[in-house]
Amino acid sequence: MSFKEKIDLNKLPKHIAIIMDGNGRWAKQKGKMRVFGHQNGIKSVREMIDGAGEIGVNYITLYAFSKENWQRPKYEVEALMNLMLSSINREVKSLHKNNVRLMAIGDLGNLPKKNQVELQKAIDYTKDNTGLTLVLALSYGSRWEIIQAAKSLAIKYKNNEIDESYFNEANFQNELNTHNIPEPELMIRTSGEMRISNFLLWQLAYSELYFSEKLWPDFKKEDLFEAIVDYQNRERRFGKTSEQIQKS
Ligand code: FPP
Protein backbone atom coordinates (compact mmCIF):
# COMPACT_ATOMS: atom_id res chain seq x y z
CA MET A 1 0.00 0.00 0.00
CA SER A 2 1.44 3.36 -0.95
CA PHE A 3 1.68 6.22 1.54
CA LYS A 4 -0.80 8.14 -0.59
CA GLU A 5 -3.41 5.43 -0.03
CA LYS A 6 -2.78 5.51 3.72
CA ILE A 7 -3.63 9.22 4.00
CA ASP A 8 -6.89 10.07 5.77
CA LEU A 9 -8.23 12.86 3.56
CA ASN A 10 -10.48 14.07 6.40
CA LYS A 11 -7.47 14.80 8.61
CA LEU A 12 -5.18 16.59 6.19
CA PRO A 13 -2.92 19.37 7.43
CA LYS A 14 -4.21 22.56 5.82
CA HIS A 15 -0.75 24.09 5.74
CA ILE A 16 2.64 22.40 5.37
CA ALA A 17 5.85 24.43 5.75
CA ILE A 18 9.06 23.03 4.28
CA ILE A 19 12.76 23.74 4.84
CA MET A 20 14.30 22.48 1.60
CA ASP A 21 17.76 21.52 2.76
CA GLY A 22 20.61 19.52 1.26
CA ASN A 23 20.92 20.78 -2.32
CA GLY A 24 24.62 21.53 -1.92
CA ARG A 25 25.43 18.11 -0.42
CA TRP A 26 23.38 16.37 -3.12
CA ALA A 27 25.40 18.09 -5.83
CA LYS A 28 28.70 17.42 -4.06
CA GLN A 29 27.89 13.69 -3.85
CA LYS A 30 27.58 13.75 -7.61
CA GLY A 31 30.80 15.71 -8.07
CA LYS A 32 28.88 18.76 -9.35
CA MET A 33 28.66 22.44 -8.41
CA ARG A 34 26.20 23.43 -5.65
CA VAL A 35 24.05 25.24 -8.20
CA PHE A 36 23.32 21.90 -9.87
CA GLY A 37 21.70 20.86 -6.58
CA HIS A 38 19.51 23.96 -6.54
CA GLN A 39 18.46 23.35 -10.15
CA ASN A 40 17.40 19.82 -9.26
CA GLY A 41 15.72 21.15 -6.14
CA ILE A 42 13.21 22.84 -8.42
CA LYS A 43 12.02 19.41 -9.56
CA SER A 44 11.19 18.56 -5.95
CA VAL A 45 9.33 21.86 -5.64
CA ARG A 46 7.19 20.76 -8.59
CA GLU A 47 6.58 17.39 -6.91
CA MET A 48 5.34 19.14 -3.76
CA ILE A 49 2.95 21.33 -5.74
CA ASP A 50 1.57 18.33 -7.65
CA GLY A 51 1.37 16.15 -4.53
CA ALA A 52 -0.35 18.80 -2.43
CA GLY A 53 -2.77 19.50 -5.29
CA GLU A 54 -3.60 15.80 -5.72
CA ILE A 55 -4.75 15.33 -2.13
CA GLY A 56 -6.07 18.83 -1.40
CA VAL A 57 -3.60 20.49 0.98
CA ASN A 58 -4.48 24.20 1.04
CA TYR A 59 -1.12 25.89 1.74
CA ILE A 60 2.54 25.02 1.20
CA THR A 61 5.23 27.43 2.38
CA LEU A 62 8.74 26.88 1.03
CA TYR A 63 11.85 28.36 2.64
CA ALA A 64 13.47 29.26 -0.69
CA PHE A 65 15.95 31.93 0.47
CA SER A 66 16.68 33.09 4.00
CA LYS A 67 18.03 36.44 5.13
CA GLU A 68 21.17 34.55 6.18
CA ASN A 69 21.55 33.13 2.64
CA TRP A 70 22.67 36.59 1.43
CA GLN A 71 26.01 35.78 3.07
CA ARG A 72 26.71 32.90 0.66
CA PRO A 73 29.33 33.37 -2.09
CA LYS A 74 28.24 36.01 -4.60
CA TYR A 75 28.05 33.55 -7.50
CA GLU A 76 25.72 31.26 -5.54
CA VAL A 77 23.42 34.12 -4.52
CA GLU A 78 23.29 35.27 -8.15
CA ALA A 79 22.59 31.75 -9.35
CA LEU A 80 19.74 31.37 -6.84
CA MET A 81 18.24 34.72 -7.87
CA ASN A 82 18.46 33.74 -11.55
CA LEU A 83 16.94 30.36 -10.82
CA MET A 84 14.10 31.99 -8.94
CA LEU A 85 13.46 34.37 -11.83
CA SER A 86 13.55 31.70 -14.53
CA SER A 87 11.43 29.28 -12.47
CA ILE A 88 8.74 31.87 -11.83
CA ASN A 89 8.64 32.89 -15.49
CA ARG A 90 8.61 29.30 -16.71
CA GLU A 91 6.09 27.95 -14.20
CA VAL A 92 3.56 30.75 -13.85
CA LYS A 93 1.30 29.52 -16.68
CA SER A 94 1.27 25.97 -15.35
CA LEU A 95 0.64 27.20 -11.78
CA HIS A 96 -2.31 29.19 -13.08
CA LYS A 97 -3.63 26.25 -15.11
CA ASN A 98 -3.50 24.14 -11.94
CA ASN A 99 -5.45 26.78 -10.00
CA VAL A 100 -2.44 27.55 -7.75
CA ARG A 101 -2.26 30.95 -6.06
CA LEU A 102 1.26 32.28 -5.52
CA MET A 103 2.20 34.39 -2.51
CA ALA A 104 5.51 35.53 -1.00
CA ILE A 105 6.72 36.45 2.47
CA GLY A 106 10.00 38.03 3.53
CA ASP A 107 11.99 41.21 3.02
CA LEU A 108 11.11 41.27 -0.67
CA GLY A 109 12.52 44.77 -1.20
CA ASN A 110 16.01 43.22 -0.91
CA LEU A 111 15.53 41.05 -4.00
CA PRO A 112 16.92 42.26 -7.33
CA LYS A 113 14.45 44.66 -8.96
CA LYS A 114 13.75 42.29 -11.84
CA ASN A 115 12.86 39.49 -9.41
CA GLN A 116 10.54 41.81 -7.49
CA VAL A 117 8.73 42.82 -10.67
CA GLU A 118 8.30 39.29 -12.07
CA LEU A 119 7.32 37.90 -8.68
CA GLN A 120 4.65 40.57 -8.26
CA LYS A 121 3.37 39.89 -11.78
CA ALA A 122 3.04 36.17 -11.01
CA ILE A 123 1.32 36.93 -7.68
CA ASP A 124 -1.16 39.26 -9.42
CA TYR A 125 -1.73 36.81 -12.27
CA THR A 126 -2.66 33.94 -9.91
CA LYS A 127 -4.34 35.92 -7.14
CA ASP A 128 -7.90 34.72 -7.80
CA ASN A 129 -7.01 31.02 -7.97
CA THR A 130 -8.78 28.87 -5.41
CA GLY A 131 -6.65 25.69 -5.25
CA LEU A 132 -3.33 25.32 -3.47
CA THR A 133 -1.69 28.51 -2.15
CA LEU A 134 2.07 28.34 -2.68
CA VAL A 135 3.92 30.70 -0.34
CA LEU A 136 7.56 31.41 -1.16
CA ALA A 137 9.66 32.62 1.77
CA LEU A 138 12.25 34.86 0.09
CA SER A 139 14.85 36.92 1.91
CA TYR A 140 12.87 35.71 4.90
CA GLY A 141 13.93 35.64 8.52
CA SER A 142 11.52 35.07 11.36
CA ARG A 143 13.25 37.34 13.87
CA TRP A 144 13.20 40.12 11.28
CA GLU A 145 9.48 39.50 10.71
CA ILE A 146 8.73 39.60 14.45
CA ILE A 147 10.68 42.85 14.90
CA GLN A 148 8.77 44.39 11.96
CA ALA A 149 5.51 43.44 13.68
CA ALA A 150 6.68 44.93 16.99
CA LYS A 151 7.75 48.15 15.24
CA SER A 152 4.43 48.46 13.47
CA LEU A 153 2.54 48.14 16.76
CA ALA A 154 4.92 50.60 18.45
CA ILE A 155 4.18 53.19 15.77
CA LYS A 156 0.42 52.70 16.12
CA TYR A 157 0.76 53.02 19.89
CA LYS A 158 2.87 56.17 19.61
CA ASN A 159 0.28 57.72 17.28
CA ASN A 160 -2.44 56.90 19.81
CA GLU A 161 -4.18 54.61 17.33
CA ILE A 162 -4.12 51.76 19.87
CA ASP A 163 -3.67 51.38 23.65
CA GLU A 164 -2.08 48.64 25.78
CA SER A 165 -5.18 46.45 25.60
CA TYR A 166 -4.50 45.99 21.86
CA PHE A 167 -1.36 43.94 22.61
CA ASN A 168 -2.51 40.34 22.38
CA GLU A 169 -1.62 37.27 20.30
CA ALA A 170 -4.29 37.79 17.65
CA ASN A 171 -3.35 41.43 17.01
CA PHE A 172 0.37 40.65 17.02
CA GLN A 173 -0.14 37.84 14.52
CA ASN A 174 -2.05 40.30 12.38
CA GLU A 175 1.15 42.33 11.88
CA LEU A 176 3.19 39.35 10.64
CA ASN A 177 3.85 38.68 6.93
CA THR A 178 1.65 35.60 7.33
CA HIS A 179 -1.36 37.48 8.74
CA ASN A 180 -3.67 36.06 6.08
CA ILE A 181 -2.24 32.51 6.16
CA PRO A 182 -3.23 29.81 8.70
CA GLU A 183 -0.49 28.41 10.95
CA PRO A 184 1.25 25.29 9.58
CA GLU A 185 0.17 22.09 11.30
CA LEU A 186 3.23 20.32 9.88
CA MET A 187 6.80 21.46 9.23
CA ILE A 188 9.15 19.27 7.20
CA ARG A 189 12.92 19.65 7.00
CA THR A 190 15.02 17.51 4.73
CA SER A 191 18.68 16.44 4.85
CA GLY A 192 18.76 15.14 8.41
CA GLU A 193 19.35 18.55 10.03
CA MET A 194 17.13 19.11 13.06
CA ARG A 195 16.87 22.86 13.33
CA ILE A 196 14.28 25.56 12.67
CA SER A 197 16.86 28.03 11.29
CA ASN A 198 14.88 31.22 11.86
CA PHE A 199 11.85 29.93 9.92
CA LEU A 200 8.31 30.85 11.06
CA LEU A 201 9.25 30.94 14.77
CA TRP A 202 5.90 32.37 15.85
CA GLN A 203 3.79 30.32 13.45
CA LEU A 204 5.40 26.95 14.29
CA ALA A 205 4.53 27.21 18.00
CA TYR A 206 2.19 24.19 17.85
CA SER A 207 3.29 22.54 14.60
CA GLU A 208 4.36 18.94 14.34
CA LEU A 209 7.97 18.72 13.17
CA TYR A 210 9.08 16.05 10.71
CA PHE A 211 12.69 15.46 9.75
CA SER A 212 13.66 13.45 6.69
CA GLU A 213 17.13 12.08 6.02
CA LYS A 214 16.65 12.61 2.29
CA LEU A 215 18.43 15.50 0.59
CA TRP A 216 15.99 17.96 -0.95
CA PRO A 217 16.45 16.98 -4.65
CA ASP A 218 15.64 13.36 -3.63
CA PHE A 219 12.49 14.34 -1.73
CA LYS A 220 9.51 13.34 -3.89
CA LYS A 221 5.72 13.21 -3.71
CA GLU A 222 5.66 9.86 -1.92
CA ASP A 223 8.03 11.30 0.73
CA LEU A 224 5.57 14.15 1.28
CA PHE A 225 2.76 11.61 1.65
CA GLU A 226 4.88 9.61 4.12
CA ALA A 227 5.35 12.76 6.23
CA ILE A 228 1.58 13.37 6.18
CA VAL A 229 0.84 9.80 7.29
CA ASP A 230 3.36 10.23 10.13
CA TYR A 231 1.66 13.51 11.11
CA GLN A 232 -1.74 11.83 11.11
CA ASN A 233 -0.50 9.19 13.55
CA ARG A 234 0.47 11.82 16.11
CA GLU A 235 -1.73 13.26 18.82
CA ARG A 236 -1.81 17.05 18.89
CA ARG A 237 -2.52 18.10 22.47
CA PHE A 238 -1.96 21.88 22.58
CA GLY A 239 -0.97 21.60 26.25
CA LYS A 240 -4.00 19.47 27.23
CA THR A 241 -3.89 15.87 28.44
CA SER A 242 -4.35 12.88 26.18
CA GLU A 243 -7.68 12.06 27.95
CA GLN A 244 -9.03 15.57 27.34
CA ILE A 245 -8.18 15.33 23.64
CA GLN A 246 -9.82 11.90 23.24
CA LYS A 247 -13.04 13.13 24.89
CA SER A 248 -13.42 16.20 22.66
C1 FPP B 1 19.26 24.59 0.94
O2 FPP B 1 20.24 23.68 0.48
C3 FPP B 1 18.54 25.20 -0.15
C4 FPP B 1 18.54 26.55 -0.46
C5 FPP B 1 19.27 27.54 0.29
C6 FPP B 1 17.80 27.06 -1.61
C7 FPP B 1 16.61 26.27 -2.00
C8 FPP B 1 16.11 26.86 -3.23
C9 FPP B 1 15.58 26.16 -4.27
C10 FPP B 1 15.34 24.70 -4.33
C11 FPP B 1 15.13 26.97 -5.41
C12 FPP B 1 13.82 27.55 -5.00
C13 FPP B 1 13.33 28.53 -5.92
C14 FPP B 1 12.00 28.75 -6.05
C15 FPP B 1 11.54 29.83 -6.92
C16 FPP B 1 10.99 27.95 -5.31
P17 FPP B 1 21.75 24.01 0.84
O18 FPP B 1 22.31 24.79 -0.29
O19 FPP B 1 21.83 24.67 2.16
O20 FPP B 1 22.34 22.57 0.88
P21 FPP B 1 23.52 22.06 1.84
O22 FPP B 1 23.04 22.19 3.25
O23 FPP B 1 23.68 20.63 1.42
O24 FPP B 1 24.72 22.90 1.55
Respond yes or no: is residue 128 known to be catalytic.
Answer: no
The catalytically annotated residue of 21, 23, 40, 177 is 21
Overall pTM surpassing 0.85 (yes/no): yes
How many distinct structural domains can be found in the chain?
1
48-67 average pLDDT score:
98
Q: Is 43 helix (H, G, I), strand (E, B) or coil?
A: helix
pLDDT for res 151: 98
243 vs 9, higher pLDDT: 9
Residue 127 lies in a domain: yes
Active-site position among 8, 40, 50, 69: 69
* 177 found inside a domain: no
Atom of ligand 1 nearest to the CA of 66: 5
Whether 193 is covered by a domain: the verdict is: yes
Asked whether residue 161 is domain-assigned, the answer is: no
Task: Read off the CATH number of the domain in which 217 is found.
Answer: 3.40.1180.10
pLDDT value, residue 211: 98
Return the closest-CA partner of residue 81 out of 173, 89, 190, 151. 89
- For 90, the domain range is 9-141+182-233
Q: Separation of 23 CA from ligand 1 center, angstroms?
A: 5
Q: How many whole angstroms separate alpha carbon 108 and alpha carbon 116?
A: 7
- Is the separation of the CB atoms in 87 and 65 below 8 Å? no
Q: By alpha-carbon position, which residue is closest to atom 16 of ligand 1?
A: 64
pLDDT tens digits, one per residue of 113-160: 999 999 999 999 999 999 999 999 999 999 999 999 999 999 999 999
pLDDT of residue 246: 77
Residues 193-222 have pLDDT tens digits of 999 999 999 999 999 999 999 999 999 999
User: What pLDDT is stored for residue 240 in this prediction?
Assistant: 81
Q: Mind giving me the DSSP string for 183-222? A: PPSEEEE-TT----TTSSTTTTTT-EEEE-SS-GGG--HH
Whether the predicted pLDDT of 64 surpasses 90: yes
β pairing state of 101-105 and 186-189: unpaired
Domain assignment present for 87: yes
Q: Is 26 exposed, middle or buried (0-12, 13-18, 19+ CB in 10 A)?
A: buried
Question: Among 60-74, 105-119, 204-218, 230-244, whose mean pLDDT is lowest?
Answer: 230-244
Average pLDDT, stretch 25-40? 98
Per the domain annotation, does 52 fall within a domain?
A: yes
Sign of CA dihedral 87, 70, 174, 61: positive
The residue whose C-alpha atom lies closest to atom 12 belonging to ligand 1 is 64
Are 63 and 20 in contact by the 8 Å Cβ rule? The answer is yes
Residue 238 has pLDDT above 90, yes or no: no
